[in-house]
């Protein structure tokens, strides 16, 4: 039979193992002695102590007097008794009045712990994984190769392409233009390159000749004013006697610049030439007469500043130091000389008439009391060039030399070198009048009476 101390400890807990009075129950209490006779345990004097100790302190315990055994019972039933004691959790003389089913009906039943079965891919899984890695690597390598060929121009067809970059461009427009002309394959890649290379700050507007097989660096450099090859126009000849309006319209027709851009630039751009006055900035006619007539080659969709500067640089070279000195001797500025030369350009029928017409103009200017008005028809035609009005001697304009005294405000066209020279070196005459004859040439007169007689004759071609 198990030790009684352990038995009470198992039944009543560690505290109750000391017994009701605080001591361990005697070893023979409640169990037979060596002879088979046993003395039943004495009832506890303090059952409350049992209830307040151990794990069953809240369970009511009652003591039941065991029945007296028959003679010889211990001898015959001892083995079974020992086996029964080994199987039971305690002696039968105690009854526990506790409803385990009722008390633990709502108790949560924990889920059993289940261990995950380790998954193993095996040989087939390893092969598939290796194939997946290889495919991903090949795909990445292919994409890298395609990007590399586009960036460096490998395998591209070599051809010359004309590309026009507008004035108000952005990198999106440039990318679309290159893509639409089959110069690049991947727009996102070019925009990425442009972002890191600051391409938008380098590219200039204009029409360029691009080689399609160029790499990205060469493409961007080819769209700059310093490194690009701008497309040139055919040779453009500016005739002598053309006004700014006619010149700008001619340039626009040849796709050099728009007329509006040229007008805006002429009025407001401060070109650095000594013969131009900053005080005239804002006047759209301030460059009239200074755009020297000649044959030029421009770029398609060129910048207006560069176009006009080409005219002015040519004028500076043509209007030599000799001309500057001669203008000073005459007491006229460069602009006044050009104004006289422009009237000569529009009036003269041929080179032989130029210095004669110049003499008439200077003779009238020297005698303003007798001849306050120059009375040059060409100035009226210039005045109505923009307004579209009909020719009239009474038109209200400062360019009307029939109603305005002295020289007009400025040149009325771009004179050629012959007219400029005639304005600087007029013939010495006493002519004050001239009129067009039916032959296409002019007749010159000193007196008004002779002039009026010719005008009223059949020879007058006016």
Kindly tell me the burial class for residue 23, based on how many C-beta atoms sit within 10 Å of its own C-beta (0-12, 13-18, 19 or more).
Answer: exposed
Q: What is the pLDDT of residues 339-376, one digit of tens each?
A: 999 999 999 999 999 999 999 999 999 999 999 999 99
Q: Determine the Cα–Cα distance for residues 275 and 198; give it in Å rounded to an integer.
A: 39
Angle (deg, nearest 10), helices 334-347 and 321-330: 90
Within a domain: residue 278?
Answer: yes
Q: Name 55's Cβ contacts closer than 8 Å, sequence gap at least 6.
A: 12, 13
User: Based on the domain organization, do 310 and 328 belong to the same domain?
Assistant: no
Average pLDDT over residues 166-187: 88
For residue 189, give the CATH number of its domain: 3.30.1490.480
pTM score above 0.75: no
Q: Determine the Cα–Cα distance for residues 84 and 76; give it in Å rounded to an integer.
A: 14
User: Based on the domain organization, do 30 and 56 belong to the same domain?
Assistant: yes
CB 207 within 8 A of CB 300: yes
Q: What is the pLDDT of residues 243-295, one digit of tens each?
A: 999 999 999 999 999 999 999 999 999 999 999 999 999 999 999 999 999 99
Task: Select from 285, 316, 347 the last residue of a domain.
Answer: 316
Q: Determine the Cα–Cα distance for residues 305 and 262; give it in Å rounded to an integer.
A: 8
Average pLDDT over residues 213-223: 86
Q: What is the pLDDT of residues 123-135, one digit of tens each?
A: 777 777 677 788 8
In DSSP terms, 206 is beta-bridged to: 165
E strand or H helix at 435: strand 433-436
Number of domains in the chain: 4
Task: Select from 80, 100, 120 the last residue of a domain.
Answer: 100
The pLDDT value given to residue 274: 93
Within a domain: residue 136?
Answer: no
Within a domain: residue 333?
Answer: yes
User: Based on the domain organization, do 266 and 296 belong to the same domain?
Assistant: yes
Task: Select from 282, 316, 350 the last residue of a domain.
Answer: 316
Token couple for 446: 């000193």
Tokens 């009075």 correspond to 21
Within a domain: residue 174?
Answer: yes
User: Based on the domain organization, do 312 and 364 belong to the same domain?
Assistant: no
Within a domain: residue 453?
Answer: no
User: Based on the domain organization, do 402 and 350 belong to the same domain?
Assistant: yes
Within a domain: residue 189?
Answer: yes
In DSSP terms, 435 is beta-bridged to: 443
Tokens 């529009």 correspond to 346
Identify the weakest region by mean pLDDT among 30-39, 275-284, 292-301.
30-39
User: Based on the domain organization, do 176 and 259 belong to the same domain?
Assistant: no
User: Based on the domain organization, do 312 and 326 belong to the same domain?
Assistant: no
User: Based on the domain organization, do 367 and 414 belong to the same domain?
Assistant: yes
Q: Name 57's Cβ contacts closer than 8 Å, sequence gap at least 6.
A: 51
Token couple for 220: 């961007």
The pLDDT value given to residue 199: 86
User: Based on the domain organization, do 190 and 251 belong to the same domain?
Assistant: no
Average pLDDT over residues 306-314: 96
The pLDDT value given to residue 427: 96
Instruction: Give the closest residue to 155 by CA, choosing from 195, 201, 212, 219.
Output: 212
Q: What is the pLDDT of residues 372-428, one digit of tens each?
A: 999 999 999 999 998 889 999 999 999 999 999 999 999 999 999 999 999 999 999
User: Based on the domain organization, do 262 and 326 belong to the same domain?
Assistant: no
Mean pLDDT, the chain, whole residue set: 81
Name the residue range of residue 276's domain: 238-316
User: Based on the domain organization, do 343 and 380 belong to the same domain?
Assistant: yes
User: Based on the domain organization, do 254 and 304 belong to the same domain?
Assistant: yes
Q: What is the pLDDT of residues 7-23, one digit of tens each?
A: 556 555 555 445 444 44
Within a domain: residue 256?
Answer: yes
Within a domain: residue 287?
Answer: yes
In order of 67, 108, 199, 403, the CA distances from 33 in angstroms are: 17, 46, 111, 161
Token couple for 224: 């700059």
């Amino acid at each position: 039979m198990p030790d009684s101390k352990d038995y009470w400890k198992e039944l009543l807990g560690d505290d109750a193992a000391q017994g009701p009075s605080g001591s361990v129950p005697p070893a023979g209490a409640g169990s037979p002695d060596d002879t088979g006779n046993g003395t039943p345990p004495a009832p506890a004097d303090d059952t409350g102590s049992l209830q307040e100790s151990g794990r069953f302190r809240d369970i009511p315990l009652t003591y039941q007097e065991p029945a007296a055994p028959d003679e010889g019972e211990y001898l015959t039933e001892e083995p079974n008794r020992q086996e029964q004691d080994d199987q039971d959790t305690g002696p039968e003389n105690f009854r526990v009045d506790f409803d385990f089913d009722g008390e633990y009906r709502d108790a949560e039943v924990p889920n059993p712990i289940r261990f995950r079965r380790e998954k193993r891919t095996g040989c087939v899984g390893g092969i598939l994984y290796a194939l997946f890695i290889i495919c991903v690597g090949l795909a990445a390598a292919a994409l890298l190769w395609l990007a590399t060929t586009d960036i460096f121009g490998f395998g591209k067809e070599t051809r010359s392409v004309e590309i026009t970059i507008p004035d108000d461009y952005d990198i999106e427009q440039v990318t679309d233009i290159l893509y639409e002309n089959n110069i690049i394959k991947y727009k996102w890649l070019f925009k990425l390159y442009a972002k890191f290379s600051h391409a938008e700050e380098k590219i200039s507007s204009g029409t360029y000749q691009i080689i399609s097989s160029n790499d990205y660096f060469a493409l961007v450099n080819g769209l700059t004013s310093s490194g690009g090859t701008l497309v040139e126009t055919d040779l453009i000849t500016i005739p002598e006697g053309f006004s700014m309006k006619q010149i700008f319209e001619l340039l626009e027709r040849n796709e050099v610049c728009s007329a509006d851009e040229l007008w805006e630039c002429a009025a407001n751009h401060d070109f650095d030439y000594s013969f131009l006055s900053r005080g005239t900035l804002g006047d759209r006619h301030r460059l009239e007469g200074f755009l020297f007539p000649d044959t030029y080659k421009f770029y398609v969709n060129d910048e207006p500043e560069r176009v006009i500067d080409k005219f002015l640089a040519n004028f500076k070279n043509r209007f030599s130091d000799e001309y500057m000195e001669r203008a000073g001797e005459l007491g006229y500025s460069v602009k006044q000389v050009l104004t006289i030369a422009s009237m000569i350009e529009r009036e003269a029928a041929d080179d032989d008439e130029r210095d004669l017409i110049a003499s008439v103009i200077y003779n009238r200017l020297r005698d303003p009391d007798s001849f306050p008005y120059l009375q040059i028809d060409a100035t009226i035609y210039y005045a109505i060039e923009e307004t579209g009005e009909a020719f009239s001697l009474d038109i209200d304009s400062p360019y009307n030399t029939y109603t305005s005294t002295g020289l007009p405000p400025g040149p009325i066209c771009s004179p050629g070198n012959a007219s400029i020279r005639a304005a600087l070196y007029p013939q010495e005459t006493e002519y004050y009048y001239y009129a067009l004859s039916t032959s296409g040439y002019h007749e010159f007169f000193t007196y008004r009476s002779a002039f009026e007689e010719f005008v009223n004759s059949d020879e007058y071609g006016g």
